[in-house]
Structure 1
Amino acid sequence: MYSVVGCRDCHALWIVEGRPETTECPRCQRRHQFGKLRTFAETDSSEAATRVRSSMLAERADDGEFVDPESIDVDAVGIDDDEFLSASGIDSEAVSAAGNRSERGQPSRSRKQVVLDGLTELEAPTEQDVLEYANAAGVPESYAERTLEKLRLAGEVTRSEGVYRRL
């Protein structure tokens, strides 16, 4: 059974499954004894309870309690992208740099692919050559070392006299 209940303090409506001893208001976080809450409807399915709650909220909107989203002038809010990103804890310069890389059409490569590309592009690549190539592409040296060893053990590359070759 699902019940649509309301908070005495903030007038929020929410759905409670079953008959718990207590429940917490999702808006004001006040804990209420379920038996003392005002129950607006009881249904057998969560979908029906959701429809009842939605219709009750829609009736409130008709009374003018909620703001019409169309009436909000988003341009008047006065926050630009950089301010928004900074307030969200994101470095706006890093976002710009990522966008620029994306616009230039540089395909992103996985770290494993960088190591494989190093084996292909370098002439007679030694372990040190591959590690330097990977490091220049931003791949940590420890990852490149592990990847070379895994590729060798998997039979995808061979090492002879310190020189790697893809198979």
Structure 2
Amino acid sequence: MFSVVGCSNCDELWVVEGRPDTTRCRRCGTRRQFSKLKKFAETDTAESAKNVRSVMKQRQAGDDSDLDDFASMGEEAADAGIDDADYLDAVGVDSAAVAEAGTVESGRSLSKREAVETALDELDRPTTDAVAEFAAEHGASRDYVERALEKLERAGEVTESGGEYRSL
């Protein structure tokens, strides 16, 4: 069971899996008892809860048009805009020379700790292997990931059950 809940301090909305004792707002850091939070929706799947949260955030922003589901929005976002080579050519950089010098990487640059935390937030089933694979793209070794997961678990920020982690 997944619930879409809201923070009474900053109006942030987030998705909570199961029925934890407490949960923390990712924006302002306020920790609340789950039972006292306003539950805007309850769904059976994480994908459904994400879609509900997305529509609610859109309505908060004053946009009443309908949204597509995350999968189709992701495909549209990938197709939107110009590619790296066209952009480089438009700003006066020789894209062929850049390609010869090395690959142009698009995406975000994260610290090792941010990579572990982002993996926990974004992966559907964040196992140690999946988090290590994600974090390796940002320069984090498997040993670092394992130590970071242990520290986060001891600090009460994540929990591990059946080999999968989830943020608290």
TM-score range, shorter chain: 0.3 to 0.5
Answer with 1 or 2: which has the greater Rg.
1
Q: TM-score normalized by structure 1?
A: 0.39
